[in-house]
Structure 1
Amino acid sequence: MKITQISTSDIAHGAGIAAYRLHKSLQETDHKSEIIVSLKKTNDDTVHQIKKPPSNLLTKFKDKLEAKLEFFSNHWGVQGIYSTSCDVLIKHPLMANSDIINLHNIHWHERNLSLNILPILSKTKPLVWTLHDMWAITGHCIYSFECERWQIGCGQCPDLDSYISLKYDTTAISYKIKKSTYKKSNLTIVTPSEWLKKLVMQSPLLSNFEIFHIPNGIPQDIFHPLPKTEVKLALEIDIEYPIVLFIASYLDDVRKGYAYFEEALLRLHDEFPNLQILVLGNGKLPEKLRAKFKVIEMGYINNEKLINIMYSAADLMIFPSFADNLPNTVLECLACGTAVVAFKAGGVPEMIQHMKTGYLAESQNAIDLANGIKTLLSQPSMLQSMQSECVNSITQNFSAQLQAKRYLSLYESLIERQSSITNKGLL
């Protein structure tokens, strides 16, 4: 079987990382997998950038101009209708040579793909679309939070600043374009979480298509437990006192819940005055926590082996996001044997088993978040016993091999169905 994945990037964002990992796990099987991206960050020869990287001043200028035009269209116009890459993508040799195509994120603030590719790509090949957030069923946002206007056509958007932000409210227009485009397309939808699957099933836009739930997989040859004492000493972390991890691509991303993290830890200062905080991500931790605790900031790290060390060094990861699908960081951390305290939000409860591999607090409740941190840090023996449970939960439910097996089963059924329809048409 010849499989082609399509994503806006390979490792530049969470959805791209998930797509790339699926691609790599499929390569471990007897099938051929390639991936096409708008922006390539790896040196992998099986990752193909849609457009050749600029090689001189003229092509660099053209590349930047095209990116700016896409940015302008997405933020000042109607999202998902303008892309400078789609014509090149459709003519790519892999489109003709593949048995099946698996689309991932097509939206981005720039270097996005256009909705127009959906009816074109699905005409002759089975087309799977793996959704990594809510963008496909809304007028612009990737998470709707409390808003339910995505169920009635959007418009009168209450949060134009939500990613992907808009200068003007074109959400109703975007919604109508999606509706029209989907009607002309033949799609099979996959969601990594049951939470997102339920939302898609409620969507007037995509509920008529077949919808499957296949969780993301984690490469356990990369993410696995390391001896905590050794990695703490290597990072010059005091082994006498507990350390918690906070990780986000951008620390000031409101959705990732830093405000709740800060409030929860400040509530615990009297009981855990020597608590250490390990921070990964772009940005700097505000002064409030710096004044109370020892803070170790590592910045943004995209080296998975280094990230594995950070997960293993932590006694606990705090994940206070209040809107997420099936975040890679939670699965990675569990694979390293480190328990997670998180909110009951999005697909997160599907990953964490309460009081077995972590603690699930009521969403956007800093008091309950603090209670979860206190409960686990106060019982070191419980935390230690959770290590094997965390790893087992990944092996049994979220391994890369299991993900590949599930996708291959879906691919084979769709190809067989397509072949049957084609043969009947020829008779």
Structure 2
Amino acid sequence: MNRRPLRIVQVAPSDVGGGAEKVAVGLLREYRNRGHEAVLVVGRKWTAEDAVVQISSSSAWTSSLERCGRALERHLGPWGRPVRKAVGWVAMPSRMRIFFFGTGEGDFPEGSRIPEAAGFPPDVLHFHNLHGSDDAYGEYLNPRVLPHLSRYFPVFLTLHDSWLFTGLCMNPASCANWETGCAKCQDAAAPAGRRTAQAPRNWSVKRDLLAASRLFVASPSRWMMERALRSILAPAIAGARVIPNGVDLSVFCPGGRDNERSRLGLPLEALVVLCVACAMRRNLAKDLALAVDSCRIAAETLRSPVLLLVVGDSGRTIRRGLLTVRFCGSVSDSRIIARFYRAADVYLHPARVDTFPTTVIEAMACGRPVAATAVGGIPEQIVDGVTGVLAPAGDAGAMADALVRLLCDSAFRGALGKAAARAAAERFDVRRQASAYLQWYQEVLTSRETARGVTGGDGAPHRH
């Protein structure tokens, strides 16, 4: 029997950004390629993609100020982001309270309008992060919508980080207080200052909201799912599955190193190490100092110049002996990012904590071995000594040893790169990821239809 196309509404902070946004956009395109009616509803839209819809602001005044803020951000260079944030505070003063104090009482009514914003009655709602990408507390959606929406729609939620069940942190690295109330937060990956004082209150607010919700929870890694099952999210879970993220293998695929270096204007004979991360300098989950120190030590050990490229952040070039660190700015075009991977000798992922970094599988798909810290879900992506090399978090000496092994032995590096590409093709194809979600959607919808038949319900979604 042929099944009708599904009406799928995904929700994400933006259509450009980090791993969560990449995953949402990748799934959107794959769903539409298969004939499903799919849209991505976002807090901020940056691209011209027709299937991406920005949630309307609550007033014309707010909307006008937000457009003004985005325009200023584009034209003011390094001052753009703080100016845009200040304008946003004027547009919606509750955002100032959220930024400075971390309180969970955000005034973001747009969430309740997600089904209407999509333009069609959805079969499923699928959330990718309920918080914005700029702050630990979001700028586009209030978690208070979860009990309401999950009452009328099947609500799927992919855990790209731990934010939903912590008081403040996106991904605690060394603290387990999120299991018991988030008191006395001292985690290295947590924001500092007065905002942490609100963490226990935020945790309590989330606990109560989740207790009134019914969610189908996915995680790309077993590590994150195990966290979720120990957290305040557990009572809300109606179903849970580990579904690894995937990438577009027609874009992220092996290719010639020298050709890509010529395109990017990079020296052909240099030893090139690549890092890719949003806002690497201020990203609490990433360790730029570890990347710089380990590359410096590797260059000294090899007695050869090393070029460290940082994609996703801007800054002045850094020189440390034989090491040069070049910041390449933000790059949103996936085809250009793929060129950087293919131009590099090694991809370096210096995380303090990470769920299942998309950049790691992008690099693997491009046939590049990965040197990464053995934290979070990363060991589920990389087979140590086969598709990459793992090192303890914060240990520059151990990471330098990993880099030396890869940079000094081209045969070893090439073997790991080929194995990485094979592993990515077998495990991390976005088509495989989409199939897993579509099958789950259909199972849940079939179960709901069966339940309605037993109870005599008409199955019509409630209007609100």
Which of 274, 277, 280 is equivalent to 2:305? 274
Task: Give 1:54 deviation, angstroms.
Answer: 9.5
1:92 aligns with 2:92: no
Q: What is the one-letter code of the residue matched to 1:32?
A: E
Which of 52, 59, 65 is equivalent to 1:61? 65
Q: Is this contact kept in 1: 2:41–2:55, CA < 8 A?
A: yes
Q: Following the alignment from structure 2 to structure 1, what is the Cα–Cα distance between the partners of residues 257 and 103?
A: 49
Say what the alpha-carbon RMSD is for the aligned residues. Answer: 2.5
User: In structure 2, what is the equivalent of residue 309 of structure 1?
Assistant: 339
Which of 263, 269, 280 is equivalent to 1:234? 263
Task: Give 1:122 deviation, angstroms.
Answer: 0.9
Which of 294, 298, 314 is equivalent to 1:283? 314
CA 1:164–1:396: 2 relative to 1, 3 Å: farther
User: In structure 2, what is the equivalent of residue 82 of structure 1?
Assistant: 107
Q: What is the one-letter code of the residue matched to 2:65?
A: F
Which of 28, 35, 57 is equivalent to 2:33? 28
Q: Following the alignment from structure 1 to structure 2, what is the Cα–Cα distance between the partners of residues 250 and 309?
A: 20
Equivalent pairs, count: 424
Q: What is the one-letter code of the residue matched to 2:279?
A: Y
CA 1:424–1:53: 2 relative to 1, 3 Å: closer
Q: Is this contact kept in 1: 2:189–2:284, CA < 8 A?
A: no
Q: Following the alignment from structure 2 to structure 1, what is the Cα–Cα distance between the partners of residues 98 and 306?
A: 46
What's the % identity of the aligned pairs?
Answer: 24
CA 1:82–1:388: 2 relative to 1, 3 Å: same
Q: Following the alignment from structure 2 to structure 1, what is the Cα–Cα distance between the partners of residues 294 and 54?
A: 43
Which of 23, 42, 67 is equivalent to 1:18? 23
Unpaired stretches in structure 2, ≥5 consecutive residues: 1-5, 68-87, 458-464
Alignment map for 1:106-121 (pairs within 5 Å): 106-108=130-132, 109=135, 110-121=138-149
* Deviation readout 1:9-68 (Å, 9 max, x if unpaired): 11133312211111112222242211111111111111111117998x884237733355
Q: What is the one-letter code of the residue matched to 1:88?
A: R
Task: Give 1:294 deviation, angstroms.
Answer: 3.9
User: In structure 1, what is the equivalent of residue 79 of structure 2?
Assistant: none
Larger CA deviation: 105-114 vs 196-205: 105-114
Q: Is this contact kept in 2: 1:70–1:84, CA < 8 A?
A: no
Q: Is this contact kept in 1: 2:295–2:400, CA < 8 A?
A: yes
Alignment map for 1:366-405 (pairs within 5 Å): 366-405=396-435
Q: Following the alignment from structure 2 to structure 1, what is the Cα–Cα distance between the partners of residues 110 and 58?
A: 13
Q: What is the one-letter code of the residue matched to 2:48?
A: N
CA 1:104–1:59: 2 relative to 1, 3 Å: closer
Task: Give 1:90 deviation, angstroms.
Answer: 5.3
Larger CA deviation: 175-184 vs 126-135: 175-184
Q: Following the alignment from structure 1 to structure 2, what is the Cα–Cα distance between the partners of residues 200 and 58?
A: 35
Q: Is this contact kept in 1: 2:97–2:103, CA < 8 A?
A: no
Q: Which runs of 4+ in 1 moved over 4 A?
A: 52-55, 163-166
Unpaired stretches in structure 1, ≥5 consecutive residues: none
Q: Following the alignment from structure 2 to structure 1, what is the Cα–Cα distance between the partners of residues 163 and 410?
A: 41
User: In structure 1, what is the equivalent of residue 246 of structure 2?
Assistant: 217
Q: Is this contact kept in 1: 2:43–2:140, CA < 8 A?
A: yes
Alignment map for 1:248-263 (pairs within 5 Å): 248-252=277-281, 253-263=283-293
Q: What is the one-letter code of the residue matched to 2:349?
A: F
Task: Give 1:78 deviation, angstroms.
Answer: 1.6
CA 1:86–1:165: 2 relative to 1, 3 Å: farther
User: In structure 2, what is the equivalent of residue 139 of structure 1?
Assistant: 167
CA 1:75–1:230: 2 relative to 1, 3 Å: same
Q: Is this contact kept in 2: 1:276–1:296, CA < 8 A?
A: yes
CA 1:402–1:164: 2 relative to 1, 3 Å: farther
Larger CA deviation: 162-171 vs 323-332: 162-171
Q: Is this contact kept in 2: 1:160–1:167, CA < 8 A?
A: no
Alignment map for 1:334-353 (pairs within 5 Å): 334-353=364-383
CA 1:285–1:197: 2 relative to 1, 3 Å: farther
1:73 aligns with 2:104: no
Larger CA deviation: 258-267 vs 189-198: 258-267
Task: Give 1:238 deviation, angstroms.
Answer: 2.7
Q: Following the alignment from structure 2 to structure 1, what is the Cα–Cα distance between the partners of residues 65 and 47?
A: 23
Aligned with 1:318: secondary structure?
Answer: strand
| TM-score between both structures, scaled by the size of structure 2 | 0.85
Which of 192, 205, 208 is equivalent to 1:177? 205
Which of 216, 222, 240 is equivalent to 1:188? 216
Q: What is the one-letter code of the residue matched to 1:146?
A: S
